[in-house]
Homo-oligomer: A and B are copies of this chain.
Amino acid sequence: VSGPFVWNLRVYWEDTDAGGVVYYANYLKFLERCRSEWLRHLGIDQARLASQDRLQFAVVDVHLRYHKPAVYDDLLAVTARVVESRGASIRFEQQIRRGTADGEVLVTAEVRAASIDSVSLRPRPLPAALAGLLAS
């Protein structure tokens, strides 16, 4: 059984705030970098998906729990796994951990995204081939 997809990243000065920790909105950037790299890993080219297939993803619901702060220079492991995918809706469970994918849990998140038409911005069911890839 394979585990979740893992993406490592570094905390830079740009990510911090005057509290000396990562600014609370910036964890959403980290979570998205992981989802983007996971799509790339699956061979899904988001830029081409938008321009050729007029399909893109829009986050519609996020639940974030901040357990411990990340600080400057931390190396983080961000994970993503799909827990449900049906119609135009995909639900992810994600974690941000210190160091490695079994490190201390800093942030947990549930993210629901919708596949939408790039022009009308309305929900459009995932093509079957894409849905299959995401479910694998």
Contacts and interface: CB of A to CB of B under 8 A. Distances in A.
Contact of A60 (B18, B20, B65): B65
A133 interface: no
Contact of A14 (B17, B65, B69): B17
Interface string A32-54: 11001000000001110000000
A28 B22 CA distance: 14
Given A14-B33, A61-B65, 14 more contacts: A13-B17, A13-B23, A14-B32, A18-B19, A18-B72, A19-B58, A25-B26, A28-B28, A46-B73, A47-B73, A58-B69, A59-B66, A62-B62, A69-B121
Interface of A: 10, 12-14, 16-21, 23-26, 28-29, 32-33, 36, 45-47, 56, 58-66, 69, 71-73, 121
- The 10 A-B residue pairs with the shortest CB-CB distance, nearest first, are A16-B18, A25-B28, A14-B29, A25-B25, A62-B64, A63-B63, A18-B20, A47-B73, A24-B59, A16-B17
